[in-house]
A and B are shown apart, each in its own frame.
Chain A
């Protein structure tokens, strides 16, 4: 890996030319997989992720099924080639934790009572990683759930805020994540429900507040993009 650049913010601009409160470019395609019940391919900056939803379907193994509601399962997985140094395939501790908190970011939104004894399986594959993969995965999974027609109370939108060179920024990319002082991914459902909140690094309470508000703004922008993508795919004016 290259060493730390001297400065991550120069004259109010970041290494990739973004302003402090600017998201990376986002590309969304819904319904890209034939076999899955719902799917979504999403890019944000150099992240490329694919999400697929299967279900509601029968639960295997049987003993984990719930009599009155569906269970939600979430698998976050990184492709071995998605990062600079090859990642050993299969789940590791990091991906198990991310799978857990990501699943929990959806649980309050999926109307589980609609499908007793069933499972809704969400699979997220990180094909290329550049910081912010869990948030990208959640954004894609949200649309894949909608694409699968799973009843939901709202769309989950996710985005991180961080701190680099002492300044609060939106949507950190790899260099900013590596050499930054804090990183805080959140997920939101409009208007004001936080379903994922993690943070590591160093935030004073004021910085936390600033970062939290900025991350919420980022989520609102992502939400709008998700909505537009759904309208483009399924809306009356869409190409169907």
Chain B
């Protein structure tokens, strides 16, 4: 609640700046904050990544274990994505079952991994109808300074790139690298006073009426989109946002995911 009052006071300031193509933290409208990724930070997890975007920090852990396939897809592995906005990460987060914000976060991250085909679910089948690999992607938010979706999505794909199939533990031969087929990158754009700002920080996120997250594949195709927030966009803004985001997605993929 108190956070919203601060946001009201800052609102006009941020809108005025946006009008002049400026931002409170000095960034250009199409400038992303600094990103850093550290992988393999949790050795107990099959894959893990800690992502920082400015002061936003998320930890994504991937656990992989054999389980039963869903009856309608007996020859396919399972992806389950979960996100928690734990009270450690922000004075506005409360403990308890996930609410719509956390659920949306998890579902958009899931959509990026699933729809991009980053994991070939057929390859995760161990024995049709009996046993498949279940890949659990768990997003732990550590520090909330805006734009959780991009951070979590980046953490998810980085953790998957880092993940191993734990064959040894289940007497199925040697551990093997999890095969990752695509590199989806999510980029979120916020609308403030008719201007589009990439990678909104917390202050911007609190006052923006509308965010649009776009997830791009390696081939620059769109794998997922999610408009969020109580405002609206014109068609022109949607097209503009896509161009802006696709450029950023390419840069991020090249710099952080393709180096290996």
Contact = CB atoms under 8 A, between A and B. Distances in A.
B29 interface: no
Interface stretch (A51-59, A96-104, A120-128, A167-175): A96-104
Given A202-B221, A205-B222, A205-B246, A107 B230 contact: yes
B234 interface: yes
B235 interface: yes
Interface residues of A, number: 32
A107 B223 CA distance: 27
Given A194-B234, A212-B235, A205 B229 contact: no
B221 A195 contact: no
A45 to B, nearest CB: 22
B242 A205 contact: yes
A97 B100 contact: yes
Contacts of B223: 200-202
Contacts of B225: 184, 197-200
Contacts of A94: 107
A214 B219 CA distance: 23
A136 interface: no
A108 interface: yes
A16 interface: no
B221 A197 contact: no
A203 B225 CA distance: 11
A204 interface: yes
Interface residues of B, number: 35
A203 B212 contact: no
A104 B229 contact: yes
A42 interface: no
Contact of B233 (A100, A197, A207, A208): A197
Contact of B227 (A93, A97, A197, A208): A197
A189 interface: yes
B235 A194 contact: yes
Contacts of B246: 205
Interface in A199-224: 199-205, 207-209, 212, 216
The secondary structure that dominates the A interface is: mixed
Interface in A54-111: 93-94, 96-97, 99-101, 104, 107-108
A220 B209 CA distance: 24
28 contacts: A93-B103, A93-B107, A96-B103, A97-B103, A100-B104, A101-B226, A101-B228, A104-B227, A108-B209, A184-B225, A189-B232, A194-B233, A196-B227, A199-B224, A200-B111, A200-B223, A200-B225, A201-B223, A202-B217, A202-B221, A203-B221, A204-B219, A204-B220, A204-B221, A205-B221, A205-B222, A205-B242, A208-B222
Given A99-B100, A200-B115, 14 more contacts: A96-B100, A100-B103, A192-B236, A193-B232, A193-B234, A194-B233, A196-B227, A197-B212, A197-B233, A199-B224, A201-B115, A208-B222, A209-B239, A212-B238
Interface of A: 1, 93-94, 96-97, 99-101, 104, 107-108, 184, 189, 192-205, 207-209, 212, 216
Interface of B: 72, 99-100, 103-104, 106-107, 111, 114-115, 209, 212, 217, 219-236, 238-239, 242, 246
